[in-house]
Amino acid sequence: MMGFLMRKDVRKLLKRKDSDAGEKGRALEEVRASLFSKLREFGGGKRQQTTLWGPTVALTFNFFVSVSIILMNKLVLVTVGFNYPIFLSFLHYVCSWLIMAILNALSILSLSTPSKSTKYSSLLSLGIVMSLSTGLANVSLKYNSVGFYQMAKIAVTPAIVLAEFVLFRKKISFLKVLALTVVSVGVAVATVTDLQFHFFGACIAVAWIVPSAVNKILWSNLQQQENWTALALMWKTTPITLFFLVMLMPYLDPPGVLSFKWNLYNSTIIGASAVLGFLLQWSGALALGATSATTHVVLGQFKTCVILLGGFLIFGSNPGPISILGAITALVGMSLYTYLNLQPSSSKQSLSKSKLGKENADGSHADESV
């Protein structure tokens, strides 16, 4: 046996196999590095803003996930009868943390923080408002109809505009204010026929407005100003969010979560909701990093109009002419807001091109004089 292995032709064959295995390993490493580079580029706020496809893909991804999870959470809280909205949010974040830990362990994604240090108070504030925003949203969805839940989101838009002015002295033009007003009025008219709510649920919806606005502003600011990737920021803030969700459970959840009927069907539905929760958090972070807090809220109102008009056109539902008119009005306002958002970027690009042309002209004149 040893003599056979020591033969010259056998040794060459073994060396060739080792070389092929090494080449395959290097190719696999290159593919994984390329995948990681693409995902990191997609997850960075500043990187997404440099191209058109970044915001488009992020907003589209967030749109479909948001519609799915609203319907799924309503199924969990009402049809399945899982009357523990804060614990449901807790499961969402536990699932998110486990998925990120698996991705990190497999070296598929890096969860490293940016080189520039961020104040811990900023991360702590984000973790707290995330727990309040997500937890209170599910409590509101439990007690109120989907229409009232969407109606409450209208108040988030002026809250974001006011908060950004107070915190960052950020102003928006009169035309953008007019467009946002048209959007808000249109959504209000579109959802006025579905305003079933509970008094306690209405109070929760009002209390949810401020944390939701601050949550979106902090996410957008940390990604765009301090160059956090979406997953790295999620990884840092999820333990904080989990801690404060545990603190909220005794006050907003009824007792008896362990006595819930955890059969296969219920567990599958709740598990699917948890996976969608991770996708919602990730897609929302990508959208906020690529655009702005106000644009993200307008996207949420766009979802409301699409659901209403889609039900009318595809499934033959009849929400009434007033609701349809409101949805169309909101879409007109969203189109105007989108158009106004595209204007500054184009003017800046033309200004930079003119500056570049002037510098090149000056350079050529200098070369001629020399």
pLDDT at 345: 47
Summarised one tens digit per residue, pLDDT across range 185-198 is 877 776 666 556 67
Q: With H, G, I as helix, E, B as strand and everything else as coil, classify residue 44.
A: strand
pTM: 0.68
d(CA 56, CA 316) in angstroms, rounded, equals: 30
Summarised one tens digit per residue, pLDDT across range 278-297 is 998 888 888 877 777 777 67
276: its two tokens = 């969608």
Can you say whether the dihedral through the CA atoms of 250, 204, 84, 232 is positive or negative? negative
Helix (H) / strand (E) element for 240: namely helix 230-252
305: its two tokens = 């109009």
pLDDT at 334: 78
Stretches in the chain below the pLDDT threshold 50: 1-2, 4-5, 10, 14, 17, 21, 28, 31, 35-36, 39, 42-53, 345-361, 363-370
Q: DSSP characters for 197-213?
A: --HHHHHHHHHHHHHHH
pLDDT at 128: 92
Q: Return the ∠ at Cα 305 (arms to 299 and 309), rounded to 5°.
A: 145
